[in-house]
Structure 1
């Protein structure tokens, strides 16, 4: 190219031609990015180098239908919206009434007797003394999408069909209900709109407030030592159960590392009347273990605005780094920079 061509390209408003200076700036930019990545990895490595094991994963639970029976799994993928194992995802199905409002074991205690399992491309609804109902994993796109409400917030759910609606309605024998499914392209609810402690970027499908609830075996054992009739971990519906730690140690875990999964604690879980539903019978006592928890697990007066008068049991976490966790994995407390 001649001098005239070079001069034309150099006129104001036109990009400068590639040359040694431009390449030098680009090289410096790439070097800065590379150095930044190296520094981040080193900082992360140093942070992980100060790990302290605080326990071991003893149980993993996915609750496919909100308020229904949990599915115990040996391994689960940790996603921003909660645990996932194959086609089963945590609180991705919901029972609603004819107005579209969520229905939980607070209103229908016998929901805890219903299970949703998956084998291949088939979902199965089951309950004692009731014939199983099989459904396709992929809900037909011709099914209507409902505008539902979960704790006052709107969220979509695709109707799982007339057979599922009739099955649940016939089992509960109170009023007409329908089953809906949250699909990945739908807009999740914002945790921050449920509890101020969450970030505006934290999201959930049909869960109450958080994608992960962690509880320790030691805390459950301490509660049971105070009860005449023992309760199960199923009364509290945690996703991750930890063994080998002290009583209520989970209250002080700010950041955890399990495999490659990093979780950050947000707040304690305040407990309601749902904990008084017997997971084996579907009968609500309305008293224990809630009354006993109130006797020693109420928040400090300074936190009353956040938690009210509900007792605290278990901790809510959100995802910092995704991955897969297994029963038996060690649980580490991440060091602080």
Structure 2
């Protein structure tokens, strides 16, 4: 396949630099003014995202927090909306049937289901890649959107009959938050990054379950649930309306500033189970009797709309996750804080970063989609997904993972984006320092924890590393790469582990969103590597796969069996025949297509026991593999030498961003 155009690199660079500066600026300016003391109030009971404005919600167990709201790969909060023929947004306030549209997401494919119309699907990757941006209006603010197509337009138009209008579904077309409404009360301290994509006001909102219970005690025969209020977060464990006195909220690693109370409208009167409005406008009427805003300056914009819940904006760097049962902490309004600094610079940097990244995604998708196979053969299922955050150190097994151009990712957990270097910033591996093999990493939020049986645990906050450390240069396989030093504490830890003098070794974090180069020019030309195939710190490519049947065949030739862990793959395939993979050119897992760049040629690392880190005295299984799995092509043998082949080196050829999951079917071409 041909190399991607050089300006992809420029776009990625813009993305990386903009995103990095955004993270740095936010960290530097926010860390002094965010609360230092927190009060525990309860736990996170539910997480909801509403991909289509006014339509049904999707419950999640965890989700990433971005400046546009909750995000889980292609699933993003309120990034789609229905518009009329004049491109003005519509909601369930006028069309309550929208509440009964239930969305679901599988990779980039959005499915919309309604009991009277069945299911319709929209491929958002195709929408992004093929549609041109146009202008729509939400609350009087022009926004850039992409039309999701005539088929879903007809579906919504039929659903909302007997309206005389025609309707379209549109997708938010920018990574930057939209502008504030002109009627926004200036008493509320909105910044330019607080509006999200298409929500009414802010990208995050929270409801206190105790407040809903208290409201129900005032209602007659009618009872409501938190779903009437369409929150992102549901809090349990604190007192009713205690939230009125909070200024900041902390969930997991994420800190949110409360911008304003959530003032309620007729949407709360629509039964989320039936889509029917309450005949007596409950619970809105009861709320109006005791939950009015009292401050005259704020009452001017709220009018008679009662308050229930909180509207919030993210104040810590985006990218960390929240998950069910996270503890929730708050800071009270009475606490003294320094004024909120201007975030204009953040907006510009964030836009540069996100737009650069978006352009890369668009360009790669356009370039590759016409070259991919049309016919596939099923060969088995995905039985294991493994990430190695630190080169040569222990694995982390996942049930699902996002696919990026750098490799597998799960929020801050990314494959081979960290490595240990010596005093000259040259990489080291378990080939020489076998004790590295027994270092077990754990990633929680942005915090990396390292464990070893002979050492105390040590933690590294990767968000702080990104925000505070300047990039420097290190070397991996003779290639210069940008890295950030993870600090003297973990340097001293690795130096003691490897029985060397203090500060002999350092832990480095990859400082680019662009792939590094790989091998010699002759090597790259022979295997037709592009600039986006190598990932961060893997030896060759950003993805590797092992066929478990091939491992079992190898075991029949060995005195002592091994496991596929000896080969440190990302993907483990079950169901295929031994060495069937030698003939494949492409692999498809879920929605993701990978091109096989070369066989994985094996080294002394395979001789190390994954359970003990001890090398096999007879260099097995490497010795046996050499007896029957050497590369036969003389030209290719020039690069592999006596290293036998076992497994596949692959690179992503479909659009980055979706997920692979255990038990996904695996197809080949």
Report TM bin, short chain. 0.7 to 0.9
What's the counterpart of residue 208 of structure 1? 200
User: CA separation in 1, counterparts of 2:157 and 2:203?
Assistant: 28
1:1-337 pair list within 5 angstroms:
47-48=35-36, 50-138=37-125, 139-173=127-161, 174=163, 175-185=165-175, 188-191=177-180, 193-195=182-184, 196=186, 197-201=188-192, 202-228=194-220, 229-285=222-278, 287-302=281-296, 303-321=298-316, 322=318, 323-334=320-331, 336=335
Over aligned residue pairs, what C-alpha RMSD do you find?
2.3
Alpha-carbon deviation of 1:247? 0.2
Say if 1:277 and 1:285, in contact at 8 Å, map to a contact too: yes
Say if 1:123 and 1:134, in contact at 8 Å, map to a contact too: yes
User: CA separation in 2, counterparts of 1:121 and 1:109?
Assistant: 27
- Whose RCO is larger (CA < 8 A, sep 6+)? 1
Task: Please give the secondary structure, in 1, of the residue aligned with 2:97.
Answer: helix
Render the CA deviation track for 1:80-111: whole Å, top value 9, x for unaligned: 11111221111100000001110100110010
Task: Please give the secondary structure, in 1, of the residue aligned with 2:268.
Answer: helix
- Deviating more after overlay: 285-294 vs 212-221: 285-294
Alpha-carbon deviation of 1:142? 3.3
Task: Please give the secondary structure, in 1, of the residue aligned with 2:315.
Answer: strand
Task: Please give the secondary structure, in 1, of the residue aligned with 2:130.
Answer: coil
TM-score for the superposition, normalised by structure 2: 0.42
Please list every run of 5 or more consecutive structure 1 residues that lacks an aligned counterpart in the other structure: 1-36
User: CA separation in 2, counterparts of 1:143 and 1:183?
Assistant: 10
Say if 1:214 and 1:250, in contact at 8 Å, map to a contact too: no
User: CA separation in 2, counterparts of 1:106 and 1:118?
Assistant: 25
Alpha-carbon deviation of 1:220? 0.5
Say if 1:114 and 1:127, in contact at 8 Å, map to a contact too: yes
Task: Please give the secondary structure, in 2, of the residue aligned with 1:294.
Answer: helix
User: CA separation in 1, counterparts of 2:310 and 2:195?
Assistant: 17
What's the counterpart of residue 8 of structure 1? none
User: CA separation in 2, counterparts of 1:306 and 1:85?
Assistant: 34
User: What is the aligned length?
Assistant: 297
Say if 1:100 and 1:149, in contact at 8 Å, map to a contact too: yes
State which structure, 1 or 2, has the greater radius of gyration over its C-alpha atoms: 2
Say if 1:192 and 1:198, in contact at 8 Å, map to a contact too: no
Please list every run of 5 or more consecutive structure 2 residues that lacks an aligned counterpart in the other structure: 1-26, 338-669
User: Structure 1 residues 241 and 194 mapped into 2: Cα distance closer, same or farther (>3 Å)?
Assistant: farther
Say if 1:191 and 1:204, in contact at 8 Å, map to a contact too: no
TM-score for the superposition, normalised by structure 1: 0.82
User: CA separation in 1, counterparts of 2:52 and 2:246?
Assistant: 28
